[in-house]
Amino acid sequence: MTKSLEGIKILDFTHVQAGPVCTQLLAWFGADVIKIERPETGDVTRSQLRDIPNVDSLYFTMMNGNKRSITLDIKNPHGHQVLEELIKICDVLVENFAPGVLDRMGFNWEKILAINPKIIVASVKGFGPGPFEDCKVYENVAQCTGGAASTTGFRDGIPLVTGAGIGDSGTGVHLALGIVAALYQRTHSGKGQRVLASMQDAVLNLCRVKMRDQQRLGRGPLTEYSQFGEGIPFLDAVPRSANDSGGAQPGKVLKCKGWETDPNAYIYFITQARVWDKICKVIGREDWISDPDYAKPSKRLTHLHEIFDTIEAWTVGYTKFELMDLLNREDIPCGPILSMKDLIEDDALYATGTLVKVDHPERGEYVTIGQPVKLSDNEVKVVRSPLLGEHTDEILTDVLGFDARRVAHLKASGATGPRILQVA
């Protein structure tokens, strides 16, 4: 079986979402990810938002598939020693502790590099170097400080955060790319290095079109924003754009059949200029094709409300899926608003491995996200998350080569869990 990252060992010191998403991606590419967890409690998300009592939550299971778990008390001198041994043989150490935690554990960059000069230490932090460097950051904080919230929502409403985890999961994806780049660089430099992905930086990278617009705004109004057509003045910062498309083609979310009872019976409709004639024919307004007030994109800007109201009067006669079929036959860009229920019931997503059903010894079958990046020659099966400490003995013996006597001594010392007997 071919695996892209075959032979790469990842020491996973991550928790919650940003870090675990990164290491899970690497595991899906074939890396051996060894998750270090605190004895008895483990990753805090094992117990957060539980839907089944005393069973690992979906929050944990969906972020930690394809990994091995070892419990280790780093404050215990024997546990500290085991961690040193793991650092010696691993290619990458990934952490998303609060600023300074790794240093206080006795493993600053200089010490880690002395143990293994080829290791890559990859970190998720809230901010990069600067005045906020030591501040803690969570998903919504990242969206606010990275520019996403200020540009999300309706222009006469408050800033909004998106439901997508662009702060946490988005940063994890960025960090994974940085790690792969560092691994490749090591093949010709022979040296390890540090990789940093700050959550603010990652969100801002995902908001690059808004930074584009901020600079354009200094030279005049943003004509593709609906407020331009409505004659509403722009201020000095990029406004919240509601459901405007963000490109040069006006777009809007429109009602579909059943919208009165279904909160997701909507479709995103783009009035792309090159298919304007087709749009007019489909909705029964062929007179707009030659009408000077509608024939050219620049003229249509002041009539967008009327245009989309007319299109919506037509879309409400069809379901969002009927519209998807009908409009795509005419090459008219659109997209149904798919709910999580729609997606989890979509057989096509299971066929491609985007969604995967896995069995868990305690919770039974559950659905998890599969590899979002498809490689034609990376055959890694998505498997369940590990139980807490499930692979402790396996890692100590098979990975570190400890004999039975040393493993027993470690367990007795409390390095891997509660002390079971006194050790001299």
Q: CB neighbours of 240 closer than 8 A, spacing ≥ 6?
A: 150, 151, 152, 153, 154, 155, 157, 159, 160
Q: Classify residue 349 by its DSSP letter.
A: H
Burial of residue 156 (number of CB atoms within 10 Å: 0-12, 13-18, 19+): exposed
| Residues with active-site annotation | 168
Give the type of residue at 227: Q
Q: Which H helix or E strand runs over 403?
A: none
Question: What b-and-e string marks burial along 73-109, b requiring 16 or more CB atoms within 10 Å of the CB?
Answer: bbebebbbebbeebbeebbbbbbbbeeeebeeeebee
Query: Closest Cα partner for 36 from 65, 78, 69?
Result: 69
- Give the pair of three-digit tokens for residue 261: 């009872």
Spatial contact of 271 and 279, defined as CB atoms under 8 Å apart = yes
Q: What separation in angstroms does the CA of 213 have from each of 149, 229, 249? A: 15, 17, 15
| Dist CA 289 CA 109 (whole Å) | 65
| Nearest Cα to Cα of residue 120 among 159, 151, 92 | 92
Distance of alpha carbon 348 from alpha carbon 417, whole angstroms: 44
